[in-house]
Amino acid sequence: MVRVYGVDPEGFWIRVQEWGYLDGKHANEAVTYTAMERGRHQLPDGAWVEAGRLAKGTTAFATTTFSEPSASACGVLHGHQCQRGGRRRDAPMRQILRHGFQVRMQEQESNRQKHLAESVGLHRLGAVLRCGQRPGYEVGLMDAGVSIRSIPSSIGVAFTQPPLFLAGMQTTNGGDPANLRWRNRNEVAVEVWVSEEQSKDAETVHSAESVGYFAADEEQ
């Protein structure tokens, strides 16, 4: 996972963190990020976005409510923003609706499922922007299902160069801890798959998940 901490008005610290059962060493990865002040903001094209932060420590799903409901729900992206607990873990989401969504903390499968509360940053993109294409960016939903098979997924807009790409699972259909990975990003498509951890067993079969994404020109 990409772990962010020490967020302040001037910047943040960032690192790649492997699951605890691995050796902690990882090759360099390209990381895409967005930075936004908390609250609702209107973009120049009239679309609205919302950014927020919440503290979650429970391993049971809990509901988080948006500041305002929207006409449709397309996607929520989130990232961890502190170092409490130390161990690498996921924050799977589900039931993303017009009024909010559910999220919980999840340790690797071999661990006891208990974790200190952590700060989680949220970008409510599609739920406010609606799914679709706009000059310079696109919000979309890979709703056909993404699983362990690496599949080329259409971005939709034909960008003039490979766009910045952020994505996150919008469902928790598989019970085992897993994260989303992607590669071979180009102007029209990207390969996306779900990667399970293997702390308890070697099995990596995972149910198909819905994936929300945000693609944009770098100058956006």
* Span 42-89, pLDDT tens digits: 877 777 777 877 765 566 777 777 777 666 555 677 665 655 555 555
Question: Where are the domains positioned within the chain?
Answer: 2-216
In this predicted structure, what is the pLDDT of residue 126? Answer: 46
Quote the strand ranges of the chain, DSSP E: 2-8, 11-16, 39-42, 48-56, 62-65, 76-80, 93-94, 100-103, 118-124, 132-134, 137-146, 151-154, 164-169, 178-183, 189-196, 209-216
In this predicted structure, what is the pLDDT of residue 156? Answer: 62
Residue 116, pLDDT above cutoff 70: no
Strands in 151-154's sheet, in edge-to-edge order, are 151-154, 189-196, 178-183
Work out the pLDDT band at 33, boundaries 50, 70, 90. Answer: confident
Range with the poorest average pLDDT among 23-37, 106-120, 173-187, 195-209: 106-120
Query: What distance in Å separates the CA atoms of residue 67 and residue 60, rounded to the nearest whole number?
Result: 22
* Secondary structure letter of residue 71 according to DSSP: S
Cα 160 to Cα 169, 183, 216, distances in angstroms: 26, 18, 11
Report the Cα 189 to chain-centroid distance in Å: 18
Range with the poorest average pLDDT among 60-64, 175-179, 216-220: 216-220
* Span 130-170, pLDDT tens digits: 455 666 788 877 876 787 655 556 666 668 888 888 888 88
Give me the amino acid identity at 160: T
